[in-house]
Amino acid sequence: MKTLTSNLRLFWQGTVLSYVALFAWLQPVTYMASKIVMPLTQMLFFTFLGSFATGRDNAHFYVIGNAIQITAVSGIFGVTMSIGGERWSGTLVYLFGTPANRMAMFFGRAFMHIIDGTIGVVIALLWGVILFKLDLSQTNLSALALTIFVTTLSTCGLGLLMGCLSLLTANVMFVNNTVYFLLLIFSGANVNLATLPSWMQAISQVLPLTRGIASARALIAGASMQEVLPLLAQELGIGLIYGLVGYFMFQWVEVSAKRRGTLETI
Amino acid sequence: MNFRNIFRYWRTMLTVAEVTLRHQLNDSFILFAILVQPLIIAVLALFMLKDTAANAAMFVVVGSGLTGLWSSLLFISGNSINAERWQGTLESLVGVPTPFDVIVFGKNLANVVQSLLSMIVAYLLAALFFGYSLHMDQPLLFFLSLFLSVFAFISFGLVIAPIFVMYREVQQWQNAMEYPVYILAGFLFPVLLLPGWTTPISYILPPYWAAVALHGTSTASAPLEQTLFAWAMMVLLSIIFLFIASRLFKIMLYKARVDATLDVQ
C-alpha cells in the first residue's frame, strides 16, 4: 500500500513538474500562438484546400479530420518536450539516479498533455461549429468525448516513443515535425484513405489517429456508441503498444546511457 | 536599405550568401523547412487536387514550393539577426564597415534561393512518383517571375528580421504566422474562396503577387497583363519594404547600441 501511494505521488508530482518546467510553450502568448492559433490556421488552410478540391459541401470532412489531428500537437510535441527536456535541461542524470518507479515516472510525462490535447480538440471542433457551421445535432456527445479522449491517449503513446528518441538524437525536432506532417496524410485527416495506394493504407492502419478520426466522422454523421466501439478499442490498443514500446526504450536508454556515460550528452 | 548598396556591395552579398549556405547545409531544421515539409504538403495536395484540373500537378509543384519559400523566410530569415546574436557574432557584424542590412540581405538571399529546392523536389516527385507529365507553358515569363519573387521575398524578410529582434512578443507568434500566409497568398487555392474582407490583406503581401505571377506563367492560366501587374506590384512592394527595412535597421541598431544589448541573449 505504501509503495502504491508513493508511486501515485511520484506520478502526480512528475506529471505536474514536468509539464510546468519542461513544456517550452507554457507561457501565455506562446501557448496561445502554438496551441490555439496555429492549429486553427492549420485547420482553416486544409479545410479551404479540401473545399477547393472537392467542393464546399465536403468542408466538414476536413474540419473534423483536422480538429482531431490537432491532438498531435500535444501528443507529439508536448510529450517530447516533457521527456526530451530532461536531457536539455541537464536533469536526466538526476532522474536516472533516483530509485523511483520508472513506469510512474515515464507515463506521468504524458498525463497533462492528454488533458491539454483533449481541450485542444474541443476548441478546434468549436471553431468548426462557429466558422464552418459543423452540425453536431445528430452527434452522441458523450461518445464523441470518449473518442477525443481515446485518440489523444493513443497519440500521446506515439509521443512517448518519440520522446525516447529525443534522448538518443539531437535531431528530434526534425523527426517530430516529419511525423506530425506525415500524420496529416496517413491519418486520413485530409485524404479519404480508400484513395491512397495500398501500401499507404497499410501504414495508416498501424498509426494512432486513423481510427479516432474515422470514429469522430461516423459519430458526427449520426452513428451510435456501439458502432464506433470497435474502432475506439483498436485505437486504444495501438496507443498502448506505442506507449509500451516507448517505455521499454526508455529503460534501454537508461541502461545504455549509464553504460556509455552519455547521460549528459547534448 | 539604400538601393545603391545592392549594386555597390553585390560581391559582399554573394559571399555572405555562400557562407550562409555552407553554414546551413547540415542544419536539420532547415532541411525540414525547405525540403521535407513542402514535400509532404506537395504529396497531400497532389492526392487532394488530382481531379480538379488538367494542370493541377504544376499548380501543386509551384504552390508547395511557395510554402517552402515562406516557411524558410519566416523561420530562417526571420531569425537571421537573432541567430547571429545567439552565436555571439552580432557585435562583430555590426562593427564591420559593411552596412549591416547588406549582410542580412545576403543571408536572406541564401535562404530564399535554397528554398527554391522545394519547388525542384516537388517537380521531381510529381513527375517521377506520380507519373505526371509536367509542362511549363511560359518558361521565360516563369523564370522572370521567379527572379522578381526572390527579390520580393528577400525584401519582405528584411522587414521581418528586425521586428523579431525589437519586439520579442511579436516573435512569439512566429509559429502562428505560417499558415495564414499560405491561406492569404493563395499558394494552393484561389483567394476567392476566402471572405471578401481578407482580399486587401492579400494585396499587401508580396507572396500573394509571387503566387499570382508564378501560377499564371507556369499554367498559362493568366493573361499577360495580369502577370505584368503582379510583377509591378512585387517591385512596388519590394521598394516599400526595403525603405521600411532601412528605417527599422537604423532604429534597431541605435537602440541596441544605446541599451548595450547587442550581445544580450
Is the pLDDT score of A189 beyond 80?
yes
A52, B49 Cβ separation under 8 angstroms = yes
Output the pLDDT for position B63.
93
Least confident of A13-27, A60-74, A118-132, A173-187: A13-27
B231-241 average pLDDT score:
96
| pLDDT value at A7 more than 90 | no
pLDDT band (50, 70, 90) for residue B264: low
* Tens digits of residue pLDDT in A236-256: 999 999 999 998 988 888 888
**Close Cβ partners of B47 (under 8 Å, ≥ 6 residues apart):** A185, A191, A195, A196
**Mean pLDDT of the A45-57 span:** 91
Q: Taking 70 as the threshold, does the pLDDT of residue B39 lie above it?
A: yes
Tell me what the mean pLDDT of segment B107-118 comes to: 89
Confidence class for position A107, pLDDT limits 50, 70, 90: confident
Give the per-residue pLDDT at B265: 59
A41 touches chain B (CB under 8 A): yes
CA angle B222, B226, B231 (to 5 degrees): 120
Q: For A195, name the nearest residue in chain B, comparing CA atoms only.
A: B47
Which residues does chain B have within 8 Å of residue A76's beta carbon, measured at their own beta carbons? none
A27:B172 CB<8 A: yes
Q: How far is CA B59 from CA A195, B118, B168, B207, B265, in A?
A: 20, 14, 36, 15, 42
pTM beyond cutoff 0.95: no
A200 touches chain B (CB under 8 A): no
pLDDT at position B263, please? 67
Helix (H) / strand (E) containing A92: helix A92-95
Q: How far apart are CA B121 and CA A184, in angstroms?
A: 20
Inspect the interface and report whether the beta carbons of B32 and A174 lie closer than 8 Å.
yes
Nearest CA to B24 out of B83, B91, B71 is that of B83
Mean pLDDT over the full length of chain B: 88
- Provide the pLDDT for residue A205: 95
Question: With an 8 Å Cβ cutoff, are B36 and A177 in contact?
Answer: yes
Average the pLDDT over each of B29-33, B70-74, B186-190 and give the range with the smallest value. B29-33
A11-26 pLDDT, tens digit each:
788 778 777 776 666 7
Q: Does A206 touch chain B (CB under 8 A)?
A: no
Q: Looking at residue A103, what is its pLDDT?
A: 82
Identify the sign of the CA torsion B24, B67, A181, A77: positive
Which percentage of chain A shows pLDDT scores above 70?
Answer: 97
At A263, is the pLDDT very low, low, confident or very high (cuts 50, 70, 90)?
A: low
Interface confidence (ipTM) of the complex: 0.89
CB contact residues (below 8 A), chain A span 145-184, against chain B:
171, 173-174, 177-178, 181-182, 184
Residue A111 has pLDDT above 80, yes or no: yes
Q: What is the pLDDT of residues B16-27, one digit of tens each?
A: 999 988 888 778
Rounded average pLDDT over B92-107: 87
Q: What is the pLDDT of residues B136-169, one digit of tens each?
A: 878 899 999 999 999 999 999 989 988 888 887 8
Q: What is the SS3 assignment for B257? A: helix
Q: What's the average model confidence in pLDDT over A81-103? A: 81
pLDDT beyond 80 at A27 = no
Picking from B40, B47, B182, the nearest residue to A45 by CB comes out as B182
Give B74-89 pLDDT, tens digit per residue: 988 888 888 888 888 8
Residue A266: predicted pLDDT: 53
Cβ contacts of B183 on chain A, cutoff 8 Å: 41, 44-45, 48
- pLDDT reported for residue B3: 72
Lowest mean pLDDT among A20-29, A82-91, A189-198: A20-29
A28 C-beta neighbours (distance < 10 Å), count: 8
Which of A45, A171, A201 is best to mutate for the B interface (most B CBs within 10 A)? A45
